[in-house]
C-alpha cells in the first residue's frame, strides 16, 4: 500500500486532470460565461496573465464548475459512496441553474469524479485522499499564481482550438 502522502499527490494529479480537462472541453476558457468571470479575467490579464486562462479562472470562481464538482464529489463519496456523489451532481446542477450558468462542466465533473474516486477506493485509496488532493489541485490554479496559472490554462485552450 502506498504512503498517505503519495496517495494524496496521485489524487491531486488525477483531480487536476479531471477538472481541467472537463473545464477546457466545455469551453470555460472561451469567454466569461457567468457574471463576474469577465471582470476577473480582465484583471488577471492586466497583471500579465492570459485572458482565456483568466476566463476559466473567473468561471471557476463564479459558478460551480468541474473543480467544485470534483471536490464536492470527493466529500460525498467519503460520506455516502456513489449515491452521495450522484446526489451531489444534482445539487451542482441546481447550483449552475441558480448562477444562470449555461454549461454542464460542474455536473459532468461531479459525475466523473464520483466514479473516479469510488474506483480508486477499490484499489487502496480513500476518498479523503481525494478531498486533500482536490484542495491541492484547486490551490495550483487559484492560489499560487494567477498569472502563471492563466497562461497554462490558455495553452490548453489553444491546443483545443
Residue-wise pLDDT for 100-129, tens only, equals 777 788 999 999 999 999 999 999 999 999
Measured distance CA(78)–CA(54) in Å, rounded? 32
Q: State how many domains the chain has.
A: 1
Q: What is the pLDDT of residue 81?
A: 96
Domain region containing 153: 4-160
Residue 139 makes CB contacts below 8 A (sequence gap 6+) with: none
Q: Are 77 and 60 in contact (CB under 8 A)?
A: no
User: What average pLDDT does range 81-88 have in this prediction?
Assistant: 96
Which grid cell sits at 1?
500500500
Using a cut of 0.85, tell me whether the model's pTM lies above it. yes
According to the per-residue pLDDT averaged within each range, which of 17-26, 57-66, 119-128, 141-150 is highest? 119-128
Reduced to 3 states (helix: H, G, I; strand: E, B; else coil), residue 157 is: helix
Amino acid at each position: 500500500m502506498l504512503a498517505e502522502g503519495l496517495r494524496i499527490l496521485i489524487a491531486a494529479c488525477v483531480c487536476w486532470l479531471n477538472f481541467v480537462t472537463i473545464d477546457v472541453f466545455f469551453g470555460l476558457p472561451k469567454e466569461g460565461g457567468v457574471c463576474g468571470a469577465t471582470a476577473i479575467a480582465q484583471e488577471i490579464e492586466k497583471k500579465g496573465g492570459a485572458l482565456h486562462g483568466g476566463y476559466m479562472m473567473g468561471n471557476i470562481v463564479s459558478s460551480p464548475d468541474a473543480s467544485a464538482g470534483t471536490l464536492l464529489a470527493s466529500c460525498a463519496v467519503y460520506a455516502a459512496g456513489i449515491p452521495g456523489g450522484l446526489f451531489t451532481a444534482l445539487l451542482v446542477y441546481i447550483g449552475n441553474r441558480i448562477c444562470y450558468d449555461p454549461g454542464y462542466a460542474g455536473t459532468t465533473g461531479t459525475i466523473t469524479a464520483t466514479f473516479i474516486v469510488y474506483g480508486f477506493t477499490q484499489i487502496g485509496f480513500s476518498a479523503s485522499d481525494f478531498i486533500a488532493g482536490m484542495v491541492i489541485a484547486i490551490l495550483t490554479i487559484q492560489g499560487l499564481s494567477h498569472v502563471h496559472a492563466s497562461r497554462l490554462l490558455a495553452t490548453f485552450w489553444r491546443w483545443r482550438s
